[in-house]
């Protein structure tokens, strides 16, 4: 398990996107415009953690999670 930044989406207007499957869970928190990575949580496969940590405060990297490049917005 790995978490970084605003993993619980407490920033005003923060959007949380997640995927789960095959024993893995990944959630990313982006700013209201969806352009700045604010934080996230990885459970199971944490291979993306270094790249995500480097991207904190900037544009999120294009990294597929749990076998799919699509993240689902839980706030919609």
Query: Mean pLDDT for each 10-residue chunk of the chain (76 residues)?
Result: 95 90 89 93 90 92 55 44
Report pLDDT for 74: 44
> Quick one: how far is CA 4 from the chain centroid?
9
Task: Return the domain boundaries, the chain.
Answer: 2-73
pLDDT of residue 37: 94
pTM: 0.79
Question: Residue 68's pLDDT is what?
Answer: 46
Residues 6+ apart with CB under 8 A from 21: 66, 67, 68
Give pLDDT, residue 23: 86
């Amino acid at each position: 398990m790995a978490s970084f930044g605003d993993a619980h989406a407490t920033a005003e207007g923060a959007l949380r996107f997640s995927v789960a499957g095959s024993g893995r869970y990944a959630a990313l928190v982006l700013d209201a415009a969806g352009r700045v990575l604010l934080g996230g949580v990885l459970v199971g496969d944490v291979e993306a953690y270094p790249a995500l940590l480097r991207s904190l405060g900037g544009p999120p990297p294009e990294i597929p999670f749990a076998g799919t490049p699509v993240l689902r917005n839980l706030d919609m």
